[in-house]
A and B are shown apart, each in its own frame.
Chain A
Amino acid sequence: EPEVTQTPSHQVTQMGQEVILRCVPISNHLYFYWYRQILGQKVEFLVSFYNNEISEKSEIFDDQFSVERPDGSNFTLKIRSTKLEDSAMYFCASTDSLAKNIQYFGAGTRLSVL
């Protein structure tokens, strides 16, 4: 069964460093999302992406964040200068059609900022 793949599963970085989290959505999907889950808190929406551009972003998604679909398969989230509070689980999701409205999630990347 097709699935969303995220790498790495765990990323440890120093405060101020740049990180890139990678996602390979399901191949025929057109809509892509990033969410984050800080330990013990709600899952929060970060950004949605369609047709090679951001369709929506939350207030969390400030200038330190960017997303890119560099080729036909990968979807990346970049954090330019990580802060301690960026430590969280980051989930990528994709959906094939708005009509189905089902977002399929990857297993997540645990980001630890030291």
Chain B
Amino acid sequence: AQTVTQSQPEMSVQEAETVTLSCTYDTSESDYYLFWYKQPPSRQMILVIRQEAYKQQNATENRFSVNFQKAAKSFSLKISDSQLGDAAMYFCAYRSALDAGNNRKLIWGLGTSLAVNP
């Protein structure tokens, strides 16, 4: 079974600085998707960024980028020019790319709470 591990329960960053959140996962599959979701105090889950495992190029979305190391099964999130609104819980999630059978669910890490200091 697949697992997702986030080893940093809490992180903090100064406003305008860069922070990297770590995520590792375990799977025997070769094709899958990885996601970072943000959960602000409102508790809504908001998709931050998505990566397909078959793509070597790291995904980027404005100030958010990932470092996807498939061999190491590592998927870290870098937030550049941190803003106060980035303060939230960040979850790493895995989804199998196999659509046959029952593989569509997201498997989640425990989350990293990010504080942004003014």
Residues of A within 8 A of B (CB): 31, 33, 35, 41-45, 48, 55-56, 58, 89, 91, 93, 95, 98, 101-108, 110
Residue B30 at the chain A interface, CB threshold 8 Å = no
Size of the chain B interface, CB-CB below 8 angstroms: 24
Main secondary structure on chain A at its contact with chain B? strand
B107–A91 CB distance below 8 A:
no
A56–B42 CB distance below 8 A:
no
Residues of A within 8 A of B36 (CB): none
Residues of B within 8 A of A56 (CB): 102, 104-105
B102–A45 CB distance below 8 A:
no
B105–A45 CB distance below 8 A:
yes
**CB closest chain-B residue, reference A105:** B45
Q: Measured between C-beta atoms, what is the minimum distance from A97 to chain B in Å?
A: 11
Residues of A within 8 A of B99 (CB): 98
Residue B91 at the chain A interface, CB threshold 8 Å = yes
- Whether A43 touches B33, Cβ cut-off 8 Å, given contacts A89-B43, A105-B44, A108-B44, is no
Main secondary structure on chain B at its contact with chain A? loop
- Whether A101 touches B33, Cβ cut-off 8 Å, given contacts A55-B102, A89-B43, A108-B43, is yes
Residues of A within 8 A of B116 (CB): none
Q: Measured between C-beta atoms, what is the minimum distance from B68 to chain A in Å?
A: 15
B95–A101 CB distance below 8 A:
yes
B105–A91 CB distance below 8 A:
no
| Residue of A43, A93, A95, A107 with highest tally of chain B CB at under 10 A | A43
B106–A35 CB distance below 8 A:
yes
A55 to B100: give the CA distance in the assembly, Å: 11
**CB closest chain-B residue, reference A100:** B50
Contact of A104 among B47, B95, B108 (CB under 8 A): B47
A102–B42 CB distance below 8 A:
no
